[in-house]
């Protein structure tokens, strides 16, 4: 397969104060207040957040290079560096977390590594480690606790479960971030999954292409290609996350035949403006990444400063439909307290009778649609 090696070479040789070796970047991540304070002029709110948060903090050298040193509202900075707002935990966050945990234990967590919520698909938790930890993460009570990975023996129990459930055809690999695992461990997982005849789709949920693009190597891409179809669903929240590195990575993955989609979390003060999301979704589509879901920020401990009212997302989706291609617009999704997903749509049905339905479009024009009798 031919590749544009000139662009690849310029990426590999660039110098931004971080290693081009992805493993060394993870090994040398910034993990505490003192190390970050030596490299970034922290605000009082950030200092207090870093010193008092109970949740895991980690930042790659690559991400640090993207942060605007002079702007406390930098969208990269706000997503990854805790502030004192994270210490404020609301009663509804505690109660929602308890309900979700109870439901997961009782109904969905069939093994410590398997969430089986829907009939035809499961989520396998391969690791609790991420390259960097988002402050709004739905799994912030889980990720980074031990920074461990599934053992081979534990994974054999997963395979046994899959073989006992032929109704499962879709496997989602999650964590943590599966792409922090070595190529060898990932191949071990994919090889065993592909030996089960009824598994037709494998999807990897990841943030790696935008927090540590150096991880996406030709060796990794070649390995993923061997086990197609393997889909990558990438979390991308702001246009500032897209640059020469990510453009090269997205194009490389696509050239290897790996289908790409994206999730975006709606975040107050970061991307809750229609112009920001229009730019993001258009850019993603041009890079062969199909916007899949716009997610309402989950009700998780210490995230109230990120959450927008539900009507904000509804309004944004409605506005997007009048200014960009619908092919670039993701579904707006809310996770409920019982761990189910709801696609939120602007209300389009006004009224209905036996012979017709009155509907409105994104410009609030009203039409009567005749029904078959």
What is the tens place of the pLDDT at every residue in 172-193? 999 999 999 999 999 999 999 9
- Joined together, the tokens standing for residue 185 give 């461990």
Q: Give residue 6's pLDDT band: very low, low, confident or very high (50, 70, 90).
A: very low
Q: What is the pLDDT of residues 59-96, one digit of tens each?
A: 999 999 999 999 999 999 999 999 999 999 888 888 77
Q: What pLDDT score does 103 carry?
A: 56
Q: Report how far apart, in Å, the C-alpha atoms of 103 and of each of 107, 234, 302, 303 are.
A: 6, 27, 21, 21
Helices (H) and strands (E) in the chain, counts: 14, 13
* Position 318 pLDDT exceeds 90: yes
Q: What pLDDT score does 117 carry?
A: 86
- Report the alpha-carbon distance of residue 370 to residue 134 in Å, rounded: 48
Listed by start position, the domains of the chain span: 5-80, 90-347
For residue 333, the SS3 value is strand
Which CATH number describes the domain made up of 90-347? 3.20.20.70
Please give the average per-residue pLDDT across 198-208, as a whole number: 98
Question: Mean pLDDT across the chain, nearest whole number?
Answer: 91
Q: Give residue 205's pLDDT band: very low, low, confident or very high (50, 70, 90).
A: very high
- Report the alpha-carbon distance of residue 138 to residue 349 in Å, rounded: 32
Q: Give residue 108's pLDDT band: very low, low, confident or very high (50, 70, 90).
A: confident
Q: What pLDDT score does 104 carry?
A: 56
> What pTM does this model have?
0.90
Q: What pLDDT score does 365 carry?
A: 86
* Position 349 pLDDT exceeds 90: no
What order do you get walking across the sheet with 170-174 strand by strand?
109-111, 114-118, 121-125, 170-174, 201-206, 230-235, 260-266, 289-296, 331-335, 341-343
Q: Quote helix, strand, coil % in the chain, to nearest 5.
A: 40, 20, 40
Q: What is the pLDDT of residues 286-300, one digit of tens each?
A: 999 999 999 999 999
* Position 8 pLDDT exceeds 50: no
- Joined together, the tokens standing for residue 247 give 């453009």
Q: What pLDDT score does 107 carry?
A: 63
- Residue 85: name the closest of 134, 56, 57, 52 by CA: 52
């Amino acid at each position: 397969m031919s590749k544009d090696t000139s662009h690849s070479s310029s990426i590999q040789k660039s110098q931004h104060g971080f290693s081009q070796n992805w493993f060394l970047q993870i090994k040398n991540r910034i993990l505490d207040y003192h190390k970050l304070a030596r490299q970034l002029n922290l605000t009082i709110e950030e200092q207090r957040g870093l010193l008092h948060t109970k949740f895991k903090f980690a930042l790659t050298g690559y991400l640090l290079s993207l942060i605007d040193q002079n702007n406390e509202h930098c969208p990269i900075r706000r997503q990854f560096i805790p502030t004192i707002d994270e210490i404020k935990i609301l009663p509804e966050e505690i109660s929602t977390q308890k309900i979700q945990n109870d439901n997961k234990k009782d109904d969905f967590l069939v093994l410590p590594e398997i969430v089986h919520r829907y009939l035809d698909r499961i989520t396998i938790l391969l690791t609790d480690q991420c390259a960097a930890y988002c402050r709004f993460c739905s799994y912030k009570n889980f990720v980074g606790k031990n920074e461990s990975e599934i053992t081979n023996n534990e994974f054999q129990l997963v395979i046994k479960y899959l073989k006992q459930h032929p109704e499962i055809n879709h496997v989602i690999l999650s964590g943590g971030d599966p792409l922090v695992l070595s190529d060898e461990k990932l191949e071990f997982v994919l090889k065993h999954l592909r030996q089960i005849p009824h598994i037709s789709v494998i999807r990897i949920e990841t943030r790696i292409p935008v927090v540590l693009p150096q991880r996406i190597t030709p060796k990794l891409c070649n390995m993923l290609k061997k086990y197609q179809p393997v889909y990558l669903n990438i979390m991308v929240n702001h246009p500032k996350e897209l640059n020469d590195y990510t453009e090269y990575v997205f194009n490389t993955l696509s050239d290897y035949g790996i289908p790409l989609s994206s999730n975006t979390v709606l975040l107050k003060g970061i991307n809750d403006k229609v112009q920001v999301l229009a730019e993001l979704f258009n850019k993603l589509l041009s890079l062969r990444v199909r916007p899949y879901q716009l997610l309402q920020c989950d009700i998780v401990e210490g995230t109230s400063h990120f959450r927008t009212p539900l009507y904000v997302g509804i309004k944004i989706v409605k506005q997007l439909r009048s200014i960009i291609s619908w092919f670039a617009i993701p579904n707006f999704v809310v996770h409920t307290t019982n761990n189910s997903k709801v696609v939120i749509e602007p209300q389009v049905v006004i009224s209905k009778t036996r012979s017709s339905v009155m509907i409105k479009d994104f410009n609030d024009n009203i039409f009567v649609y005749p029904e078959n009798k």
